């Protein structure tokens, strides 16, 4: 009996020792980001801007998300490839690093890591991009080719996340650029004028023919199918919406100067003297429920020179007293007004001489350097802030007066 009990106790003790023994180390858990499900592609002429919002969780639902980069892939065809074929048939058109210390991460990101991140990648539609992938296409040959895009997030150790939502653009021809772009300016505005695209009628005819060839409804035109977008070099890129999304990095789509496509073939913007301004215009077709933006007109650059003097001051009046003559006049409203100079002569017909050493910035002046019994003749001119020499207005109306 004692021997049996001893065996049991020894077995229990041996088991307890075995339970405490360490096994081989487990491999570290590698988090993989979830699929990108919010993605869009915007075509402008022969350029496409792909915008994707990064996932906020990993594929297992855990947080924080393990994304260290995003790759954008493209395939040209009539239908998008199966998910498992993207790496074989697609072309990687860009990568954006989104590590916390990556260049381009918004400072807002560091302050609030709960905000989703957004990346943008540029794809130029060269001849290779306009050619279908080698895989046989499942769609009928009459269906126009399209360019399909996916954004694949990368986790730690470059582990790829799953293929998510597909975005696409059509590869039909774009409208031609506007013709005869010209830029003029005056004292306050820069004026752009242009003509509709020279091949506009031919392009519309080709669109109608293509719609008949694939047995769809003919192109339905708006009352005026042509609209226009104006672009200025160096313009701030289009801001993402909603405002809570933080743009991280990449080549974003340039923003038109105009808030909405223009129906007229003219546009004005404030003039900035002495600074080169380069502009272009693109045709925007609006019809059959779609919008197609074409290529740019040749860029037009101009450096406006301020050769525009202020208007002559008005309503100059003289108010005499015993030892002075006070002058008053109406204010000018030019944005670049620097002030006024008072002119005076002490006999009729004599040239008016400048009385003020520095510009007067108010619309009144007291001339105390007068002598009793002498009649004085006055005028006022306005000057702007052009350097080194200001533009000078014509003289105001003339007044004459003597101390009393």
Residue 144 has pLDDT above 50, yes or no: yes
204 and 223 housed in the same domain: yes
68 and 151 housed in the same domain: yes
125 and 47 housed in the same domain: yes
pLDDT digits (tens, 9 = 90+) for 59-116: 888 877 778 889 999 999 988 989 888 888 899 999 988 765 443 334 344 344 555 6
* 8, part of any domain: no
Determine the average pLDDT of the residues in 172-188: 91
4 φ/ψ angles, rounded to the nearest 5 degrees: -65, -40
148 and 128 housed in the same domain: yes
* CA-closest candidate to residue 232, choices 301, 305, 306: 301
149 and 217 housed in the same domain: no
The per-residue pLDDT for 186 is 93
The per-residue pLDDT for 210 is 64
How far is it, in rounded angstroms, from Cα 378 to Cα 398?
A: 6
In whole angstroms, how far apart are CA 235 and each of 50, 210, 300?
Answer: 19, 36, 15
53 and 158 housed in the same domain: yes
How far is it, in rounded angstroms, from Cα 305 to Cα 186?
A: 9
How far is it, in rounded angstroms, from Cα 247 to Cα 26?
A: 38
287 and 355 housed in the same domain: no
pLDDT digits (tens, 9 = 90+) for 272-314: 998 999 999 999 887 666 678 888 999 999 999 999 999 999 9
Average pLDDT along the chain:
81
52 and 114 housed in the same domain: yes
43 and 144 housed in the same domain: yes
The per-residue pLDDT for 139 is 57
Collapsing DSSP states into helix, strand and coil, what is residue 268?
strand
* 311, part of any domain: no
pLDDT digits (tens, 9 = 90+) for 147-169: 999 999 988 778 888 999 999 99
Quick one: pLDDT band at residue 404, thresholds 50, 70, 90? Answer: confident
112 and 37 housed in the same domain: yes
CB 51 within 8 Å of CB 119? yes
* CA-closest candidate to residue 52, choices 69, 31, 30: 69
**Domain encompassing residue 230:** 174-237+254-305
The per-residue pLDDT for 55 is 86
162 and 190 housed in the same domain: no
pLDDT digits (tens, 9 = 90+) for 193-216: 999 888 777 877 777 776 655 555
> Where is pLDDT greater, at 246 or 129?
129
Q: Percentage of the chain surpassing pLDDT 90? A: 47
- Residue 210: give its domain's CATH number: 2.60.40.10
Number of domains in the chain: 3
Q: End of a domain among 171, 187, 205?
A: 171
* 6, part of any domain: no
Stretch (H or E) spanning 213: helix 200-213
* 396, part of any domain: yes
> Where is pLDDT greater, at 289 or 37?
37
296 and 184 housed in the same domain: yes
């Amino acid at each position: 009996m004692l021997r049996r009990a001893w065996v049991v106790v020894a077995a229990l003790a041996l088991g307890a020792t075995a339970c405490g023994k360490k096994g081989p180390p487990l491999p570290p858990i590698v988090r993989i980001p979830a699929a990108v499900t919010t993605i869009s592609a915007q075509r402008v002429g022969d350029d496409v801007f792909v915008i994707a919002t990064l996932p906020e969780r990993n594929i297992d639902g855990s947080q924080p998300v393990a994304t260290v980069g995003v790759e954008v892939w493209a395939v040209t065809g009539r239908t998008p490839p199966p998910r498992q074929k993207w790496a074989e048939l697609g072309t990687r058109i860009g990568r954006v690093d989104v590590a916390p210390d990556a260049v381009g991460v918004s400072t807002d990101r560091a302050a609030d890591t709960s905000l989703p991140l957004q990346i943008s990648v540029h794809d130029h539609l060269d001849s290779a991009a306009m050619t279908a992938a080698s895989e046989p296409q499942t769609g009928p040959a009459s269906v126009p080719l399209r360019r399909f895009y996916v954004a694949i997030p990368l986790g730690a150790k470059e582990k790829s996340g799953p293929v998510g939502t597909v975005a696409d653009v059509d590869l039909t021809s774009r409208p031609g650029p506007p013709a005869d772009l010209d830029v003029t300016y005056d004292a306050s505005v820069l004026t752009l004028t242009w003509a509709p695209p020279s091949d506009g009628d031919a392009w519309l005819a080709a669109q109608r023919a293509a719609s008949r060839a694939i047995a769809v409804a003919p192109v339905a035109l708006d009352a005026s199918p042509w609209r226009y977008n104006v672009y200025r070099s160096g313009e701030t890129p289009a801001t993402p919406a909603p405002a809570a999304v933080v743009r991280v990095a990449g080549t974003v789509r340039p923003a038109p100067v105009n808030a909405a496509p223009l129906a007229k073939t003219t546009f004005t913007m404030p003039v900035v003297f002495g600074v080169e301004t380069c502009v272009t215009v693109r045709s925007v077709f609006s019809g059959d429920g779609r919008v197609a933006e074409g290529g740019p007109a040749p860029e037009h650059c101009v450096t406006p020179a301020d050769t525009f003097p202020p208007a002559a001051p008005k309503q100059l009046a003289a108010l005499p007293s015993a030892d002075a003559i006070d002058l008053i006049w109406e204010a000018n409203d030019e944005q670049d007004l620097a002030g006024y100079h008072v002119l005076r002569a002490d006999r009729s017909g004599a040239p008016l001489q400048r009385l003020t050493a520095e510009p007067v910035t108010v619309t009144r002046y007291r001339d105390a350097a007068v002598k009793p019994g002498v009649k004085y003749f006055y005028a006022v001119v306005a000057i702007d802030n052009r350097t080194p020499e200001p533009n000078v207005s014509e003289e105001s109306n003339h007044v004459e007066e003597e101390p009393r």
